[in-house]
Structures are given as C-alpha cells and as structure tokens.
C-alpha cells in the first residue's frame, strides 16, 4: 500500500478543478501524469503540488492533501478506492458521485458535499454549505448510498432528493432540509430550519426536538424499535456519536401527507 502526500507549491488563489485527481488509482506513474485544471488551464499535478510517495502501513492506500481552500472543487469526484485525507478546508462537490472508500476533511467544505454519492464514507470535521448529500444541478436523484457525517453545521437543502444512505449532522441545519426526500436516513442533532421534510416520500429523519412546522405529518405515537437501537449502536461503536440515550422514548410522525408520503420523522419525546 502507498501513501501519497500533496502540498501546494504556492497559495491557491484561482479556481482549481481536482476531478482528475481521482483517476490515478494509486499508481506511481499515473500520479505524475495527472493533469488538473487551475485557473481554466490544464496543468501537470507536480507543477502545482509537491508530491511525496511513501509506503503505507495501513491496509488501504492513502492520499493526503494539505493547504487547500474553498477554490478547490471536485476533490474526490467518483472516488472509488482508498482513503482521502484533506488537512484543510476544501471547495464544492467534495466526494460527489463517490462510489467507495473514505474521505476525511479536517476543515470545512462548501456546497454539494457527497451529492449523488452511492457508497463510501465522508467525514467532515467542521461545517458545510448547501446541498450536502443532494442531487447535482439538473438531476432528480440525490445521494443513493454511503454515509456522510458532518460534525459542524450544514446550511440549506441538506439531503435534497436523497434516495438512500445515511446523513448525520452534529450541529445545526438550515432551511429546506430533506426536501423531496425519496428514502434514506438523516439524523439531525441540533437546530433545524424551516420546511423540514417538505415533499418527503419515504425515509427516516431523526430530530432532537419537536419543531413547529410538522403540519404535513401525522403523529403516530411513541415507538420502541429495534432498528433505531441498531442505528444508535452503530454510530456509538463506529464513530462515538450517540443519537439518543438507551431506552429514551421516541415519537414517530408520518408523512408528507400532501403527497401521500410514507416517510417518518422521529422526535425525541
């Protein structure tokens, strides 16, 4: 297994498209041949980054990138193998259309994090902006598998058109979260903005406190369910994140009624 480390040779001030960085397949020769778009020009990777390739003691290949910023888009596009570690903030479309593997970001990310991803894990230490786990512009199906954990806040349209997979936000979320949700699981630990689950067809949303805008949902009542225990135990054991206390009563709401939806919003009692 190998570990590739990339450090920019200068401060990135223009738009950078890192889509091609997912094509090297951890091959030493291919990495040097990789070209990326910087300021709308195709430039060899080694002209922008210092490339260091070492042996990796981990089971998986690893790509570590330092000092990126919000200008760096499309990192981890269609990512399918190994670990990608970002030791800074990053731009939009992080892990979009991701297939497998893992992405860890030590800072924040911009829009469309994990949009249309179908597998793998994305773990963000800080905040993200709009459309995390959603569909890409012009498409109707959002994230269809995998897991996104956002340890900070997320802004609007989180999980827009989400179809499958799990989204976990430890902080606050903005408006229109889980709009037109097709299925999947979304866990929101803190404050939730307006119009949660509007147009929801199926799927599960966890929220910590009841919110006023659940008019389109019918209250089912208190539930005790093995699936929620399973999910809770999975997050505790794998990531040290607790969704609810063991034995804590949960209330189920069912909707969106306006669409004959059968989605569920689970609220801590």
Partner 1 sequence: MIKIENTFAEAFPMKCSRLIVTAHNKNWVKNAAESFCGFATSVIACGCEAGVEAYLSPKETPDGRPGVSILIFSMSSKELSKQILNRTGQCIMTSPTSAVFSGNTGKEKIPLGNALRYFGDGYQIAKVIDDKRYWRIPVMDGEFLCEDYAYQIMGIGGGNFLILGDTVENVLFAAESAVKKMKKVKNIILPFPGGVVRSGSKVGSKYKNLIASTNFDYCPTLKGVTKSKLDKETGCVLEIVIDGINKKDIEIAMRVGILEVKTLSPHCGIRCISAGNYGGKLGPYIFKLRDIV
Q: Give the footprint of partner 1 on this chain (CB under 8 A).
A: 119, 145, 147, 164-166, 185, 202, 204, 223-227, 229-234, 238, 246, 262
- Closest distance of CB 227 from partner 1, Å: 5
Q: Which is nearer to partner 1, 86 or 118 (CB)?
A: 118
- Closest distance of CB 230 from partner 1, Å: 4
**CA 227 to chain centroid:** 22
Bridge partners of 50, per DSSP, are 7
**CA 190 to chain centroid:** 17
- Closest distance of CB 226 from partner 1, Å: 4
Q: Which is nearer to partner 1, 43 or 236 (CB)?
A: 236
Bridge partners of 55, per DSSP, are 2
- Closest distance of CB 28 from partner 1, Å: 30
Q: Which is nearer to partner 1, 48 or 265 (CB)?
A: 265
Residue with tokens 């786990």: 133
Q: Which is nearer to partner 1, 90 or 118 (CB)?
A: 118
- Closest distance of CB 95 from partner 1, Å: 17
Q: Which is nearer to partner 1, 18 or 243 (CB)?
A: 243
Q: Give the Cβ contact number of residue 227 at 10 Å.
A: 10
- Closest distance of CB 118 from partner 1, Å: 11
Q: Which is nearer to partner 1, 215 or 246 (CB)?
A: 246
Bridge partners of 187, per DSSP, are 168, 206
Q: Which is nearer to partner 1, 51 or 250 (CB)?
A: 250
- Closest distance of CB 182 from partner 1, Å: 12
């Amino acid at each position: 297994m190998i570990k590739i480390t990339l450090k920019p040779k200068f401060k990135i001030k223009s738009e950078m498209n890192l889509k091609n960085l997912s094509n090297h397949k951890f091959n030493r020769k291919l990495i040097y041949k990789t070209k990326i778009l910087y300021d709308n020009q195709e430039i060899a990777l080694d002209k922008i980054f210092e490339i260091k390739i070492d042996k990796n003691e981990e089971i998986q290949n690893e790509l570590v990138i330092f000092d990126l910023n919000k200008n760096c888009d499309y990192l981890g596009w269609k990512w399918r193998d190994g670990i990608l570690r970002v030791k800074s903030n990053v731009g939009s479309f992080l892990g979009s259309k991701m297939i497998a593997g893992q992405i860890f970001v030590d800072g924040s990310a911009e829009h469309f994090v994990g949009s249309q991803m179908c597998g793998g894990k994305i773990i963000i230490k800080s905040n993200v902006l709009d459309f995390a786990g959603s569909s890409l512009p012009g498409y109707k199906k959002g994230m269809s598998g995998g897991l996104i954990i956002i340890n900070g806040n997320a802004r609007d349209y989180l999980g827009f058109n989400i179809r499958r997979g799990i989204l976990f936000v430890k902080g606050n979320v903005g408006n229109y979260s889980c709009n037109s949700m097709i299925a999947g699981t979304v866990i929101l630990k803190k404050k939730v903005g307006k119009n949660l689950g509007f147009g929801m067809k199926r799927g599960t949303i966890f929220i910590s406190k009841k919110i006023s805008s659940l008019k389109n949902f019918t209250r089912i009542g208190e539930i005790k369910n093995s699936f929620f225990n399973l999910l809770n135990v999975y997050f505790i054991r794998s990531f040290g994140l607790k969704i609810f206390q063991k034995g804590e009563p949960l209330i189920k709401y069912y909707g969106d009624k306006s669409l004959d939806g059968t989605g569920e919003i689970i609220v801590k009692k």
